[in-house]
């Protein structure tokens, strides 16, 4: 064994800069002492504390995971303790299972939309998405439809970063360094109507337009070549993009007409984020497959899952058919026990009702931000909102100066100084986004909206 010849580091940031590779981070820019790193040490209720003891409202619930905030630890610890003492691990592999995964699959079947009663577990969102794709391919090929090799996803959408899920993620900057996509994917319009002609303010007109465009794309591509369409009920990337009424019904009709499977990626929108067990419930979605992760365990353990409808399972479970797909840690007993406890708490503590009860208030507070010159649009629903920023150039774009000083500088700095963790995207269309813990009360939601308003008001004055 070779020992490190480096001098031992002191302090967490310096140690991180030496030893830890962060996700989606220019790791070389953390500074040799890790001076640009933010280390979060503790959580309480909807707050987190950094290593210097500064407290922040976790306006993003971790990364859309911590639905219940951080104060249910004793209950989760009790569930974990019980599970680990009974059975720490057993795989869901080769006709073997364990009681906790079975119980969780049954529980998910009870809350899932009608006709979806089967679950394939995985370790996180991207794995759940890849499972959806493999199940879709398997479904078609078992039916003799072997030419269905293409997927449709939506422009600007994010479905994960593993090689398969990355193919469905519409971000050339993320995909290109890794060569040709593993899945042949076509991208169709998302449902962002900001900046579109006024006629699209009408839901029926906009839905009809989007669905007609999609149908034309399907026909041009060859309907028999499409295996699956994947879409989020509310698209996260691009800023909480809600669908117009009738859109999800239209997707269902196209899937039925042309024989492809419809997958709802609910990695962010499930488990209360939109005030429903599944965000698609709010929009009349009737998908064949649902992918979940993040909030399924409220962030207390890692887990992903792919929920599959009975008619698809009837095909993939045909006698002799093997689903050659799996992950060693799929449905890990610890994660399954935590997920069960989380679903129990959400139900017991009326979390969905709480979101439904507060959502109009949050919506009103967020919509009020449109009065600020720097705010172009406010979108979202439930406890999930984004402001699209409008800059100093004609048409709403940002000059280099405004982008550097305001989007990359002042706005994130002021939010952090005021004690709010929110997401500030510095993209073509810059965004400020929140997804607060579902346990946030009205006073906290007001505080979040006020901090954003103060930062954006100051930025407006400097546009």
Ligand X SMILES: Cc1ncc(COP(=O)(O)O)c(C=O)c1O
Which residues sit at the interface with ligand X, rule CB under 6 A? 124-126, 129, 158-160, 232, 236, 265, 267-268, 293
Separation CA 294–CA 86 (nearest Å)? 25
Q: How far is the CB of 58 from ligand X (least distance, A)?
A: 16
Q: Sheet containing 304-309: which strands, arranged edge to edge?
A: 116-122, 304-309, 289-292, 261-265, 226-231, 150-154, 184-188
Separation CA 95–CA 322 (nearest Å)? 11
The answer to whether the Cα torsion of 128, 23, 381, 169 is positive or negative is negative
Q: 241 - beta bridge partners? A: 235
Q: How far is the CB of 23 from ligand X (least distance, A)?
A: 8
Q: How far is the CB of 251 from ligand X (least distance, A)?
A: 16
Q: How far is the CB of 432 from ligand X (least distance, A)?
A: 17
Please provide the DSSP assignment of 68-108 as one string. TTTTTHHHHHHHHHHHHHH-S-----TT---HHHHHHHHHH
User: Any residues with CB less than 8 A from the CB of 61 and at least 6 apart, and which?
Assistant: 67, 69, 295, 299, 435, 436, 437, 438
Q: How far is the CB of 126 from ligand X (least distance, A)?
A: 3
Q: Which is nearer to ligand X, 159 or 414 (CB)?
A: 159
Q: Which is nearer to ligand X, 233 or 275 (CB)?
A: 233
Q: Which residue number is nearest to ligand X in terms of Cβ?
A: 125
Q: Which is nearer to ligand X, 13 or 125 (CB)?
A: 125
Q: How far is the CB of 458 from ligand X (least distance, A)?
A: 30
Separation CA 315–CA 148 (nearest Å)? 15
Q: Which is nearer to ligand X, 131 or 440 (CB)?
A: 131
Q: How far is the CB of 381 from ligand X (least distance, A)?
A: 15
Distance of CA 57 to CAs 274, 349, 363, 365, Å?
20, 21, 18, 17
Q: Which is nearer to ligand X, 302 or 391 (CB)?
A: 302
Contact 57, 49 (CB under 8 A): no
Q: Which is nearer to ligand X, 230 or 406 (CB)?
A: 230
Q: Which is nearer to ligand X, 37 or 129 (CB)?
A: 129
């Amino acid at each position: 064994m070779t020992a490190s010849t480096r001098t031992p580091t002191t302090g967490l940031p310096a140690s991180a800069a030496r030893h830890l590779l962060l996700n989606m981070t220019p790791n070389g820019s953390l500074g040799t002492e890790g001076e640009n790193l933010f280390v979060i040490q503790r959580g309480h209720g909807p707050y987190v504390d950094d290593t210097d003891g500064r407290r922040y409202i976790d306006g993003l619930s971790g990364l859309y995971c911590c639905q219940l905030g951080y104060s249910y630890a004793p209950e989760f610890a009790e569930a974990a303790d019980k599970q680990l003492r009974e059975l720490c691990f057993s795989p869901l592999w080769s006709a073997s299972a364990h009681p906790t995964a079975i119980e969780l699959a049954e529980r998910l079947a009870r809350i899932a939309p009608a006709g979806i009663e089967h679950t394939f577990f995985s370790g996180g969102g991207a794995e759940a998405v890849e499972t959806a794709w493999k199940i879709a391919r398997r479904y078609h090929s078992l039916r003799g439809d072997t030419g269905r090799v293409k997927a449709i996803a939506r422009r600007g959408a994010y479905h994960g970063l593993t090689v398969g899920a990355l193919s469905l993620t519409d971000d050339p900057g993320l995909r290109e360094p890794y060569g040709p996509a593993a899945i042949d994917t076509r991208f169709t319009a998302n449902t962002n109507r900001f900046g579109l002609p006024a006629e699209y303010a009408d839901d029926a007109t906009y839905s009809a337009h989007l669905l007609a465009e999609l149908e034309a794309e399907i026909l041009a591509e060859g309907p028999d070549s499409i295996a699956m369409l994947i879409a989020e009920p509310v698209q996260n990337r691009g800023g909480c993009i809600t669908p117009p009424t009738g859109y999800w019904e239209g997707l269902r009709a196209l899937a039925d007409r042309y024989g492809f499977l419809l997958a709802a990626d609910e990695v962010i929108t499930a488990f209360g984020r939109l005030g429903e067990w599944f965000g698609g419930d709010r929009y009349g979605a009737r998908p064949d497959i649902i992918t979940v992760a993040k909030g399924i365990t409220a962030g207390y353990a890692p887990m992903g899952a792919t929920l599959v409808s009975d008619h698809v399972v009837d095909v993939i479970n045909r006698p002799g058919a093997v689903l050659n797909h799996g992950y060693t840690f799929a449905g890990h007993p610890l994660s399954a026990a935590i997920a069960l406890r989380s679903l129990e708490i959400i139900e017991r503590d009326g979390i969905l009702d709480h979101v439904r009860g507060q959502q109009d208030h949050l919506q009103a507070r967020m919509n009020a931000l449109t009065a600020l010159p720097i705010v172009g649009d406010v979108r979202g629903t439930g406890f999930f909102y984004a402001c699209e920023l409008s800059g100093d150039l004609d048409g709403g774009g940002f000059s280099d100066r405004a982008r550097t000083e305001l989007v990359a500088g002042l706005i994130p700095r002021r939010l952090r100084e005021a004690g709010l963790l929110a997401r500030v995207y510095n993209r073509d269309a810059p965004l400020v986004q929140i997804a607060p813990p579902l346990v946030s009360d009205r006073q906290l939601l007001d505080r979040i909206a006020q901090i954003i308003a103060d930062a954006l008001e100051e930025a407006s004055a400097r546009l």
